[in-house]
Structure 1
Amino acid sequence: MFSLEGQTALVVGIANDQSIAWGCARALKAQGAKLAVTWLNDKAEPHVRPLAEDLGAEIVAPLDVRDADQMDALFAQIAQKWGHLDTLLHSIAFCPRDDLHGRVVDCSAEGFGLAMDISVHSFLRMIRRAEPLMPEGGTCITVSFQGASRVVEHYNIMGPVKAALESAVRYAAAELGPKRISVHALSPGPLATRAASGIAEFDELLDSAARRAPTHHLATIDDVGAYCAFLASREASNVTGGVHPIDGGYSIVA
């Protein structure tokens, strides 16, 4: 029904073959997109580089989103290699462990600031750099969770952080719509990723979600990837500003 042939996509957030970003990268590639893939640091590179090579990524580079020079270098490489960028996928989040496992009201200013910077503001920084590379329009996608809109036990401070991310999506979509740049948040239900494993009692949340979802199935990274690839297509160019649940209907159940 749609093709990404000839399009280019930057995928940020692959940690291993269970990452949401990995599912999205595979789907984008399957529909014909050329890929740029990043890794976080030296520890992550041996896990990410082989995956990027499996997909034939044309650009493979380091990116710590707190490092402005690294981010500038990445987008300069994209501009030199391709001259444009069609899709940006931002699938990263972080909160210091003590702040993540504590009460929201006890979250330190430093922990809150770091969580907001890496999980939210880095998306805006990347959009700002992607915008000049999208003169004919494009798609910017991030990843949220239903803890942004309702209280999910043990999700704690990441709930308010993801709520800020979803609000940023709406405002960015409104600002960039005239340039035909769409902005989205994918909102999978609970997934067994490495990042999610840091949430206390996450296995219980997975079991509960599978029981309660109308389909009785958790979403997979392939489910998320398929939705991501569609939003990156020209057929979805008039869709923007949404938070898209991909959760077997889990989010509709009281």
Structure 2
Amino acid sequence: MLTGKKGVIFGVANQHSLAWKIAQRCAAHGASLAIAYQNDRFEEKVSALARELPDAFTLQCDLNNDAEIQQVVETLQARWGHVDFMAHCVAYALREELMGRYLDTSREGFKIALETSVYTFVAATRHLEPILRNGASILTLTYLGSERVVPGYNVMGVAKAALEASVRYLAYELGERQIRVNALSPGPVSTLAARGIRGFTSMMEYVRHHAPFKRDTDPNEVGDTAVFLFSDMGRGVTGEVIYIDAG
């Protein structure tokens, strides 16, 4: 489904990352991949993961740093000429902002969560725009806490709501070039970021008992949905939030 397509995936931290599951499934369908990690802390682990894929290389990129994003763009342009798809799998909030009340969110904590979880998506898309092929596909990851109160999700819920609004605005602005912009909204998945949310284990248990499928979200299902959106089969889908949550 992705043979001949080239894409960049931001946010791989380890083998449990949804970004990594997306990378694995894209590679299985023939894509050439650039896998971007945040900093030196992740270099060894992510480089080892990338070596498992048939056609992938790694790049360091802190999406809060415009110069680093531009360096990635220049590298991709020199190597490939263009990009067919991009996955933004980056989110962060200070741990203390997820422990108490949303009402007590600090100004600095709010800024950090929104800048890292939302603005990085806008920034990455803007820098990549000149080398995105017409008909390219962009996606990011969101969560149900954007539209419903999830105790303990706090400022991240507000950030995800802003992220989903950004998806719609970018879909509108890039639509003339047939560039698609969407968000995937998985159910609770045990990732490095998710384990920092208070009550996460209880959330997973609730889903097992109340979701129609009576099970957790399979991370590979997230990857497979990304493959669909990146492929030509998803060419008519844009500005959407797509749920992969066992119902």
| 45-54 vs 191-200, greater mean Cα deviation | 45-54
Q: State the match for 2:215 in structure 1.
A: 217
Contact 2:84 2:133 in 1 (8 A): no
Instruction: Output the amino acid matched with 1:120.
Output: V
Where does 1:99-114 land on structure 2 (aligned, <5 Å)? 99-114=97-112
Q: State the match for 1:200 in structure 2.
A: 198
Q: State the match for 2:149 in structure 1.
A: 151
The percent of aligned pairs where both chains have the same amino acid is: 38
Note the aligned Cα RMSD (angstroms). Answer: 1.0
Partner Cα separation in structure 1 for residue 44 and residue 143 of structure 2: 28
Query: What per-residue deviation string (whole Å, max 9, x for no partner) do you get for residues 120-141 of structure 1?
Result: 0100111112211124220110
| 190-199 vs 45-54, greater mean Cα deviation | 45-54
Structure 1 residue 202 displacement after superposition: 0.8
Structure 1 residue 31 displacement after superposition: 0.9
Are 2:37 and 1:71 aligned? Answer: no
Instruction: Output the amino acid matched with 1:163.
Output: A
Partner Cα separation in structure 1 for residue 55 and residue 127 of structure 2: 20
Contact 2:188 2:217 in 1 (8 A): yes
Contact 2:146 2:157 in 1 (8 A): yes
Instruction: Output the amino acid matched with 2:239.
Output: G
Q: State the match for 1:125 in structure 2.
A: 123
Contact 1:39 1:49 in 2 (8 A): no
Q: State the match for 1:252 in structure 2.
A: none
Contact 1:37 1:57 in 2 (8 A): no
Q: State the match for 2:226 in structure 1.
A: 228
Instruction: Output the amino acid matched with 2:197.
Output: I
Structure 1 residue 58 displacement after superposition: 3.6
Structure 1 residue 57 displacement after superposition: 4.4
Partner Cα separation in structure 2 for residue 183 and residue 76 of structure 1: 22
Partner Cα separation in structure 1 for residue 69 and residue 206 of structure 2: 39
Partner Cα separation in structure 2 for residue 65 and residue 93 of structure 1: 10
- Superposition TM-score, scaled by structure 1 size: 0.95
- Aligned to 2:174, the other structure's residue is in SS state helix
Partner Cα separation in structure 2 for residue 40 and residue 124 of structure 1: 17
- Aligned to 2:51, the other structure's residue is in SS state helix
Are 2:27 and 1:29 aligned? Answer: yes
Contact 1:7 1:33 in 2 (8 A): yes
Partner Cα separation in structure 2 for residue 6 and residue 151 of structure 1: 42
Where does 1:76-115 land on structure 2 (aligned, <5 Å)? 76-115=74-113
Question: Which portions of structure 1, spanning 4 or more consecutive aligned residues, are displaced by more than 4 angstroms?
Answer: none
Structure 1 residue 67 displacement after superposition: 1.6
Contact 2:25 2:220 in 1 (8 A): yes
The number of aligned residues is 247
Are 2:187 and 1:189 aligned? Answer: yes
Residue segments in structure 2 that go unaligned for 5+ positions in a row: none
Structure 1 residue 221 displacement after superposition: 1.3
Structure 1 residue 55 displacement after superposition: 1.1
Partner Cα separation in structure 1 for residue 133 and residue 88 of structure 2: 20
Contact 2:31 2:55 in 1 (8 A): no
